[in-house]
Chains A and B, each alone.
Chain A
């Protein structure tokens, strides 16, 4: 990061604690973090990296239709997710695997979606899934859902009561490409108009598949929100402490009734857009090397070592991540196709004659094929 950069950064790329000028106002939000919290951040990032690698491998082995890698974006995701409270509600795109992990969903749900075994993957209304809403594949659509949800939270009186168990915020994740979508601008408008308890968390991973962020915007993306009357900040998205502190501050303020805010986390998609993509067609080796040198996990590892984390901790984390991946692989291979009936169920909440008729027809047709065999 350049000198006098407006970017919030606590850790240098070598893991040295050296807050930028912009980071100073966020320092208080780090004060109550313990060594255990720091190690939890590290474990979250390491496990999600290992999870992501395993899923990429599973796709390459034909076990998944598609995989959108999160490799490189772990600090942005883990820091922001760890800054949220249990009652907060988080709306992801389709790449927030580490956020889902932190919020406690059964991560197999994400695999189900990408394997073609389920459309939604997990029940976002089940409290054990941490208010982590379902993935949304149409770019930017979820920003409006989040804003509407946040309007409802405010109508329900769950903002600004001063009770930390009650006050609730909504956080929505979106990417640099989506900032060009009308829905994102409209959600800024509705959020500002309604002063929703909401944080817009942008992961600027520099690429919308093959299109660089310079094609989406001539100004830093965090400045966009200000034109809508929404305060915003740019952070080093590969610094988990910056992600945590910035999100903590703005979620706290949203819960307190101070309205929406936007965070732009500068990060990089080390992997492909999805396993169907080939980044070598548009990304130079130098670009990749630049960002690999800023790897969020290596950086935090270096920091933790200066804080006394020993080899045994890192070895145990690797083992934990390997066990996690092995279990995931085992459970992935055991996944079966959903029953045909699932195609017809829940198209509507209430009975629907046409769908019922077509369901009955397919059942009878399938039965006739079996009887004829």
Chain B
């Protein structure tokens, strides 16, 4: 039994969460490319095959559609597969199996065939990698009925959210902010802080609300600190669940601050941020003192890594948006 609170990198918190889920339910199996002997290219499954055996941690052939499609079949048989997609940009060969099969199976079968499948996707930039290794494809899946989509930003959330995702009878797309794999943070092993599908206030403020998910949350906290030094009180929200979105805390925050900036690494056009902006405009129109602004990646292919810092929103771009919001 680990100590109640321990400092862990997000990557190791995920490993601990997977281990706990596998120990709780023997129908939980892990499958993916290089996840067994190697422990995954990011070592998230390190040690688990040795601990649980080759029938619980499967080194699969190198085929994403095959991984997801066989996971669908295993779920039909009563298993709870947790699939690892090696990198964000490698998920598209599995797109049909995710969107037309996995996501729709429960509805197609009138609820008789639940699909308790988790698809783990290391996503996002900041790691200086080559093409297809730094993308943020979450909007494709948020748009698909039948999927749940979440993304932790802290080691504690990673530990608990992966277990909650595995316990869900619905398919869950689990986006892991790979640039946050290594920084340490406290993990409280005694209890989950909040439910899986909830937005959380991570810093309170009164002048403007910032919201993001995954790695961008830490960028918002940097920006909030700089803004505070300049006398601007910033509230920071961690979205955590991209589908469904827990709008309650977002609306409450906007009612307090009157200003909202939605931030993400992903391209802004028809994105999670767009949905939040539209919903806030519908539900909190009279609370807004300025238009909802978006700070996001550009609607371009993810660029060569030597110039990725100009693509990825940083604290300065967030601060620039705060200035624009406050100027109204």
Residue numbers of A with Cβ under 8 A of B are 118-120, 123-126, 133-134, 136, 138, 141, 143-153, 155-156, 182-183, 186-187, 189-190, 193, 342, 345-350, 352-355
**Mind listing 8 A-B residue pairs with CB under 8 Å?**
A138-B101, A143-B69, A145-B101, A146-B73, A152-B78, A182-B63, A182-B93, A193-B61
B100-142 vs A, CB cutoff 8 Å, 1 = contact: the mask equals: 1100101111111111100000000000000000000000000
Task: State A87–B123 Cα separation when bound (angstroms).
Answer: 42
Task: State A138–B72 Cα separation when bound (angstroms).
Answer: 14
Q: Are A186 and B69 in contact (CB under 8 A)?
A: yes
Chain B's nearest CB lies how many Å from the CB of A255?
Answer: 16
Chain A's nearest CB lies how many Å from the CB of B92?
Answer: 12
Q: Are B108 and A119 in contact (CB under 8 A)?
A: yes
A120 with B108: in contact, given A148-B72, A189-B61 (CB under 8 Å)?
Answer: yes
A148 with B101: in contact, given A348-B148, A348-B170, A349-B169 (CB under 8 Å)?
Answer: no
Chain B neighbourhood of A353, CB < 8 A: 197, 244, 246
B97 proximal to A (CB < 8 A): yes
Chain B neighbourhood of A182, CB < 8 A: 63, 65, 93
* Chain B residue with the shortest CB-CB distance to A357: B244
Tell me the residues in window 186-212 of chain B with beta carbons closer than 8 Å to chain A beta carbons: 197
Q: Are A190 and B70 in contact (CB under 8 A)?
A: yes
B242-286 vs A, CB cutoff 8 Å, 1 = contact: the mask equals: 011110000000000000000000000000000000000000000
Task: State A319–B190 Cα separation when bound (angstroms).
Answer: 70
Task: State A342–B108 Cα separation when bound (angstroms).
Answer: 10
Q: Are A138 and B100 in contact (CB under 8 A)?
A: yes
Chain B neighbourhood of A155, CB < 8 A: 29, 55, 79
Chain B CB count within 10 A is highest, among A147, A153, A349, for: A349
* Chain A residue with the shortest CB-CB distance to B104: A119
**Contact check: which of A118, A147, A347 meets B70 at CB < 8 Å?**
A147
Task: State A138–B100 Cα separation when bound (angstroms).
Answer: 8
B168 proximal to A (CB < 8 A): yes
* Chain B residue with the shortest CB-CB distance to A343: B107
Chain A neighbourhood of B170, CB < 8 A: 348-350
**Contact check: which of A124, A133, A151, A186 meets B65 at CB < 8 Å?**
A186
Q: Are A189 and B114 in contact (CB under 8 A)?
A: no
B74 proximal to A (CB < 8 A): yes
Q: Are B107 and A347 in contact (CB under 8 A)?
A: yes
Task: State A187–B61 Cα separation when bound (angstroms).
Answer: 10
Chain B neighbourhood of A190, CB < 8 A: 60-61, 63, 66, 70
Task: State A190–B59 Cα separation when bound (angstroms).
Answer: 11
**Contact check: which of B76, B107, B111 meets A148 at CB < 8 Å?**
B76
A124 with B113: in contact, given A186-B61, A186-B66 (CB under 8 Å)?
Answer: yes
* Chain B residue with the shortest CB-CB distance to A138: B100
B214 proximal to A (CB < 8 A): no
Chain B's nearest CB lies how many Å from the CB of A131?
Answer: 11
Chain B's nearest CB lies how many Å from the CB of A15?
Answer: 39
B145 proximal to A (CB < 8 A): yes
Q: Are A141 and B96 in contact (CB under 8 A)?
A: yes
Q: Are A349 and B69 in contact (CB under 8 A)?
A: no
B306 proximal to A (CB < 8 A): no
Given contacts A141-B100, A149-B73, 7 further A-B contacts (CB under 8 A): A124-B113, A125-B113, A151-B77, A186-B61, A347-B106, A350-B170, A352-B244
Chain B neighbourhood of A120, CB < 8 A: 108-110
Q: Are A141 and B97 in contact (CB under 8 A)?
A: yes
Q: Are A347 and B146 in contact (CB under 8 A)?
A: yes
B209-245 vs A, CB cutoff 8 Å, 1 = contact: the mask equals: 0000000000000000000000000000000000111
9 A-B pairs with least C-beta separation: A148-B73, A144-B69, A152-B77, A148-B70, A346-B111, A186-B66, A349-B169, A149-B73, A145-B73
Chain A's nearest CB lies how many Å from the CB of B189?
Answer: 25
Chain B neighbourhood of A136, CB < 8 A: 101
Chain B neighbourhood of A144, CB < 8 A: 65-66, 68-70, 72-73, 97
Q: Are B101 and A141 in contact (CB under 8 A)?
A: yes
Chain B neighbourhood of A187, CB < 8 A: 66, 69-70
Q: Are B77 and A153 in contact (CB under 8 A)?
A: yes
Chain A neighbourhood of B161, CB < 8 A: none
Chain B's nearest CB lies how many Å from the CB of A100?
Answer: 15
Chain A's nearest CB lies how many Å from the CB of B17?
Answer: 19
A150 with B107: in contact, given A124-B113, A125-B112 (CB under 8 Å)?
Answer: no
Chain A neighbourhood of B245, CB < 8 A: 354
Q: Are A150 and B73 in contact (CB under 8 A)?
A: yes
Chain B's nearest CB lies how many Å from the CB of A354?
Answer: 5
A183 with B112: in contact, given A144-B97, A155-B79, A353-B244 (CB under 8 Å)?
Answer: no
Q: Are B168 and A350 in contact (CB under 8 A)?
A: yes
Chain A neighbourhood of B55, CB < 8 A: 155
B71 proximal to A (CB < 8 A): yes
Chain B's nearest CB lies how many Å from the CB of A254?
Answer: 15
Q: Are A147 and B73 in contact (CB under 8 A)?
A: yes
Chain B neighbourhood of A134, CB < 8 A: 108-109
Q: Are A151 and B96 in contact (CB under 8 A)?
A: no
Chain A neighbourhood of B114, CB < 8 A: 349
Chain A neighbourhood of B111, CB < 8 A: 345-346, 349
Chain A neighbourhood of B70, CB < 8 A: 144-145, 147-148, 151, 187, 190
